[in-house]
Structure formats: C-alpha cells, structure tokens
Amino acid sequence: MAPRWHTGRVPLEILLVGPLLALAVLALIAVAADVTSLRPRAVVRPGPVADEFGLLRTVALASDLEPAVEVRDRLLALGIRATVGTDRDGFVRVLVFVAEYERARDAV
C-alpha cells in the first residue's frame, strides 16, 4: 500500500508573512540610517595662522631660506630641536617645539 500524504492548501497569509517581515525589517533599517544622518556633525574650520604648524612655534621669521637655515643650525648646535617651514605668505619660519620655545627665543 502506497503512503498517503496529508497535504492541503496553504493559506495565503502564511506565504506572505516571511516576505512582509523582511520588508518591514529593511524599512526599519532604512529609517534608522536616515535618522542617524540627521544628527548635527562637528564643523571643522581652519585654525588661525598661528596654528598652521601644529605643535611647533615660530621663533624666527625670514624672507629667504639662507638666514633661516643659519638660525636653525645655531639652534641645533645648542641642542634645541628646530626645523624650517614656509608659511602661506611665502615667509620662511624657524620652528621649535613649545617646550623649547623659551630657550630658542633666548638663543636667537
């Protein structure tokens, strides 16, 4: 005797539950993503020219590279960490760290 299968019609509501639930979850994710994009963001504004070189401070200002390099070499000979950088206006600056600024200023 052949086995008898007990199959019947599946109601339409049961077939629609899975896809409708998936759509509801996707809609919830879309709303959550949109809400998080509405939060105010921090506005980054360019700092003043004094902060142009970050942790370094200007100890000498020159119009040409040669005098700035001489000052930098003098500071390096005294054991003060120094470097040379050009600012937005084209001037050459001799830069030192904040911790060494007083010593560098006295040496210049």
pLDDT at 38: 66
Question: Which pLDDT score, from 0 to 100, does residue 44 have?
Answer: 54
DSSP codes joined into one string, the chain: --------PPPHHHHHHHHHHHHHHHHHHHHHHHHHHTS------PPPGGGTTTTEEEEEEESSHHHHHHHHHHHHHTT--EEEEE-TTS-EEEEEEGGGHHHHHHH-
Each residue's pLDDT, cut to its tens digit, for the chain (108 residues) gives: 666 777 777 777 777 888 889 999 999 988 887 766 666 666 555 444 455 678 889 999 998 899 999 999 999 999 999 999 988 888 899 999 989 999 898 888
Domains, the chain: 50-107 (3.30.70.1530)
